[in-house]
């Protein structure tokens, strides 16, 4: 069997819309939740936020998907029945009966982990795995024949180095720092490796089948360092938007990604209303009320 170029771990709550079942768990407890899942195990679940991305990746080939859940095997039949209903080629699963999932992600060789559980996302990031917290599903439907993925820059593709300068010292100091270091590549952020893997997959399946975009709040003169960084990585993005602090959601609605990754809650909240969105939790966030550029 040919080795996959990309391995994706997706939690059941990211793959399917399990909000009703989750509400029962929170309001009525584990016993009521288990009874509900078993009673409805033949009822097909509606797609969740991560569903369009997973389906498109599987269509491309060279991708392996592992469904993960804190359910036990007995309450997971509804998930497997829904996978079969939609014809998703997912054969592997990690079911932990309430135990944290991240310790098992490396065993499966996961490159990207999508979950609705923030503690699992944070632990996966600490393990060096690209991971993001899925927002509730949007009604937007992307029927594009190509896979489309959009990324924020600082603290997502790139390290938080420059972001910290902005938060501590303001926009003028940030721009001066980026101008002085324009030709010094930024360090890797948590999703840098994923972008490289996507570039390899793009080369294997054909560039016209995958389209990537950088959607960043940076503007001139801070754009130059980004361009030199991508050159140093030998990676290209198909589209780049340097918005200078403008809202991102209108550009994202035009680009129509299957998923958008950002670290900023405000941008994610707005984007999640128009496109599938996932937040990359910051490891250490400055609590200053200063608005992000």
pLDDT at position 162, please? 82
Number of Cβ within 10 Å of residue 195's Cβ equals 22
Say which CATH class 147-279 falls into. alpha beta
**147-279 and 6-134 share a CATH fold:** yes
Backbone angles phi, psi at 42, to 5 degrees: -95, -5
Query: Quick one: fold of 6-134?
Result: Rossmann fold (3.40.50)
Using DSSP's 3-state secondary structure scheme, residue 281 falls into coil
d(CA 293, CA 268): 15
Q: In this predicted structure, what is the pLDDT of residue 143?
A: 67
Q: Is there a catalytic annotation at residue 152? A: yes
pLDDT tens-digit profile, the chain (293 residues): 467 789 999 999 999 998 888 888 888 888 888 888 888 889 999 999 999 999 999 999 889 999 999 888 888 899 999 999 999 999 999 999 888 888 899 999 999 999 999 999 999 999 999 999 999 987 766 667 899 999 999 999 999 888 888 778 877 788 888 888 888 999 999 999 999 999 999 988 887 899 999 999 888 888 899 999 999 999 999 999 999 889 999 999 999 999 999 999 999 999 999 999 999 998 644 444 334 44
pLDDT of residue 227: 92
Secondary structure (3-state) at 272: coil
What own/partner pairs with CB < 8 Å and gap ≥ 24 does 138-142 have? 138/49, 138/272, 138/273, 138/274, 138/275, 138/276, 138/277, 140/253, 140/256, 140/274, 140/275, 140/276, 141/52, 142/52, 142/256, 142/257, 142/258, 142/275
Which candidate in 111, 120, 152, 263 is catalytic?
152
- d(Cα 233, Cα 154) in Å, to the nearest integer? 15
Global confidence as pTM: 0.90
pLDDT score of 45: 93
Distance CA 8, CA 237 (A): 21
- 244: helix, coil or strand? coil
CB atoms within 10 A of CB 123: 19
In sequence order, what are the residues at sequence separation of 6 or more whose Cβ sits closer than 8 angstroms to the Cβ of residue 111? 6, 7, 8, 129, 130, 193, 194, 197
pLDDT at 288: 42
Q: Where are the domains of the chain?
A: 6-134, 147-279
């Amino acid at each position: 069997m040919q080795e996959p170029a990309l391995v994706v771990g997706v939690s059941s709550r990211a793959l399917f819309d399990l909000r009703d079942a989750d509400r029962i768990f929170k309001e009525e407890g584990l016993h009521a939740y288990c009874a509900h899942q078993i009673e409805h195990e033949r009822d097909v679940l509606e797609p969740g936020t991560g569903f369009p991305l997973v389906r498109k990746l599987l269509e491309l080939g060279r991708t392996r998907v592992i469904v993960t859940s804190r359910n036990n095997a007995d309450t997971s039949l509804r998930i497997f029945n829904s996978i079969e209903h939609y014809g998703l080629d997912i054969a592997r699963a990690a079911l932990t009966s309430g135990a944290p999932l991240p310790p098992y992600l490396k065993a499966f060789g996961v490159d990207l982990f999508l979950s609705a559980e923030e503690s699992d996302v944070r632990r996966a990031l600490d393990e060096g795995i690209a991971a993001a917290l899925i927002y509730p599903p949007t009604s937007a439907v992307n029927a594009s024949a190509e896979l489309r993925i959009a990324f924020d820059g600082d603290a997502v593709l790139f390290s938080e180095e420059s972001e910290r300068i902005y938060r501590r010292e303001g926009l003028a100091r940030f721009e001066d720092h980026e101008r002085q270091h324009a030709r010094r590549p930024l360090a890797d952020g948590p999703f840098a490796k994923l972008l490289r893997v996507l570039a390899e997959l793009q080369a294997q399946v054909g560039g016209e089948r995958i389209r990537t975009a950088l959607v960043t709040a940076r503007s001139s003169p801070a754009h130059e360092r980004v361009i030199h960084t991508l050159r140093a990585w030998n990676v290209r993005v198909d589209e780049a938007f340097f918005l200078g602090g403008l809202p991102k959601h209108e550009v994202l609605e035009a680009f129509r990604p299957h998923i958008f990754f950002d670290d900023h809650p405000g941008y994610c909240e707005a984007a999640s209303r128009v496109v599938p969105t996932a937040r990359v939790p910051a490891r250490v966030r400055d609590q200053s009320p200063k608005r992000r550029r």
